Chains A and B, each alone.
Chain A
C-alpha cells in the first residue's frame, strides 16, 4: 500500500516551481501566524531583560561575577549576544522550535487541512520537504532574533568595543562582530537536528501538542543523558552534546576541525529523522 505520489515524467519539470510556490505560501503562513510572532517576541525579550539586569547590577560585585559569558557583558555589548544565546540554549530555544516544528504536519492534520493539501494535490514528499525547510527557517529566525536584539541592546547599554577572546587576546570590534555572528550561525545550525525530530514526531500524531511536547522532551532528555558521566560512550551521538561548541568562535584561531563533530552529528540527526519522517508520511493513511 503506498498512497504516496509517484513521480511521473509529466510532473517532474514543474517540481522546482511547485516547491517555490509552496515555500512562499508556507513561509507566509508560519511567520504570519500570531502565535509564532509572539514566540519570537518572547525570545527577543531575553537579551533585553538580560541586558537590563546586568546594566542595573554592573557596579555591584554580583554583576561582574556572573557565570562565563554573562560576566563579560558589562565590559562589551557584543557579549550580550553570546550570553543571551547561552541562556536560551537549554530550554527556550528547544521550546520555540518544538512548538513550530511539532506543528508542521500534526497541526495540518488537526485542523483537517492536511487532507485538503493532499487533494489539491500537493505531493507528499514535496509537502514534507517544504514543511521541514520552513521549520528550519523558523529556527534560524529564532536564533537571529536573539542575536540581533542582543546586539542592539548590548550596543545601547554597554557599547561595543574590541573583543577580548577566551584566550585573553584582543581582536577589533569589527572582527569581534563576525565572531559573534559565527556563534549565532553555529547555534542556528545546532538546532537543525531537533527541528527534524520535531517534524518527524509531527508525522506520527494528529495532536500537535503531543509532537511539541515530545520534541522538547527529546532535547531535555538528551541534555540529561549528556550530563551523566556513566554514559560517556553515547555522548558524542547525542543531539545536544556539541551545542556548547559555539565557544570555538571565541578562541584566537577558529579551528574548523573543532566545529566539524557538531555539524556532523546534526547532519546525521537530520538525515535519520528526515528519512523516517519521509517513509512514514509518504505511506501513512490520512484519516484526520
Chain B
C-alpha cells in the first residue's frame, strides 16, 4: 500500500485518493488501498497481536473496509478474526501496528467513535438473571451519549431481530438463537455508521440465518458499513460486497467479492443423459476444457477462456442432448483453497 498518511487528520485530505485514483475511470479493487483513511470505515496498518504465550494471533494485517461496504471477514477457526476485532474495538491493545475506525485512531478515540459503532463480539453476553429487555435497558443506560426515547428504541431493536415476544423472558431461559438475536439487538440500539458482527449467525436456525442476512442487507442499503466475520464461507458469501480472508493470522486475500471470484476459475456444469455422458466428456476435453469430471449424467469442468456458447454449439453439433448447462463462478472457498493450498477448516 502506498498511502502513508495517518487517518488522525482526515480533514487534511479533502480530496481523498483523488490524485492517485484519477487517471483510471473505474478504480480496480486494489485501488481500495490507495483511498485515504477517511473513505475507509475500518483501516489497519500492519496490525499485529502477539499474545503473552508467544503466539502471533494476528500478523501484520492491513484491513481496508470502504464506507458502505458489507465486508465479509472470513477465515477458519483460530485464524485471528476475533482477535483482530477485539483490537479494532479497543478491547485488547495491539503489539504493533495501528487501527482506525471511521477515520479515527483506536483505541485513543474510542470514547468518540464507539457510539457510532455497533458491535457483537464472539457471541452475545448478557446478565442471565435479567430479562432480555432489562439487559438492553442496562446497556443503553450505560451509554452516556444515548439519544432520547430509550423505550422506543429498545422496542424497535427487539422487533427488528424478532424478539418482541420473548423480551420479558429471563436471558437465562433464552435459546442459543434467541441469545444471538439479543446480541444483534444490542448492536442496533441506536443508529450506527458501522456494525462489527463477529459470527452473527452462530447458533441460528436456517430461518434465523436468512433473517440475519436480510438484516445485514437492509442495514447496508441504509448506508451502514458492516464488517461481518464468519468461519462459514458459504453462509455470508452472498451478502458481501467485499471480502477479506484470514489464514493463520495473515490476511491472505482482500478485495471486492466479484473481482475475487469471477476470473480464471470459471466452472461449467452440463447435464445430459446417461448414454451420452462419455461422449460429452470427450467433446469438452477436445474443446480444451480442463479437469473434466463425470458424475452419472452430470459433468463439471474448468472453463478457462472458452465461452459457454461455444461449448453448447459443440455439444449440439456432436449430437449430444444438452438437458442443462450452466456457468458457475468459483466460490470463495475455491479461491481460498487455491491460495493457501489448505482446506478451509484447518485450525492451528
A interface list, Cβ under 8 A from B: 1-8, 10-11, 14-15, 17-18, 21-22, 24-25, 29, 33-34, 111-113, 115-123, 283, 285-287
Alpha-carbon gap, A2 to B121, bound state (A): 20
Docked complex Cα distance between A25 and B141 (Å): 6
Give residues in B with beta carbon < 8 Å to A.
86, 89-95, 107-112, 114-115, 117, 119, 121-129, 138-139, 141-145, 186
In the complex, what's the smallest C-beta–C-beta distance from A203 to chain B, in angstroms? Answer: 15
CA gap between A2 and B90 in the complex, in Å = 9
Q: Are B93 and A113 in contact (CB under 8 A)?
A: no
Residue from the list B93, B112, B124, B143 in contact with A1, Cβ < 8 A: B93
- Min distance, Cβ B46 to any Cβ of chain A, angstroms: 15
Residues of B within 8 A of A15 (CB): 144
Which single member of B94, B111, B121 contacts A8 (CB below 8 Å)?
Answer: B111
Query: In the complex, what residues of B have CB within 8 A of residue A11's CB?
Result: 111-112
* CB-nearest residue of chain B to A25: B141
Closest chain A residue to B90, Cβ basis = A3
Contact of A25 among B119, B122, B138 (CB under 8 A): B138
| Docked pose: A116 CA to B86 CA in angstroms | 11
Query: From residue B240, how far is it (CB to closest CB) to chain A in Å?
Result: 23
- Complex CA gap A287/B114 in Å reads 18
Kindly name the residue among B107, B109, B124 whose own CB sees the greatest number of chain A CB atoms within 10 A. B107
Sorted nearest first, the 5 A-B pairs with minimum C-beta distance are: A112-B125, A1-B93, A18-B144, A25-B141, A121-B114
**A5 with B93: in contact, given A33-B129, A111-B127, A120-B143 (CB under 8 Å)?**
no
Q: When the two chains form their complex, are residues B121 and A115 in contact, meaning their CB atoms are under 8 A apart?
A: yes
Q: Can you name 11 A-B residue pairings with CB atoms under 8 Å?
A: A21-B141, A111-B125, A112-B125, A113-B126, A115-B86, A116-B121, A118-B89, A119-B90, A119-B114, A121-B111, A121-B115
B91 near A17 with CB under 8 A, answer: no
**Which of B107, B108, B110, B142 contacts A117, CB < 8 Å?**
B142
Known: A2-B93, A287-B86. A122 touches B126 (CB 8 A): no
Distance of A121 Cα from B190 Cα, bound (Å): 13
Partner of B138, one of A3, A14, A29, A112: A29
- Least Cβ–Cβ distance between A185 and chain B, in angstroms: 30
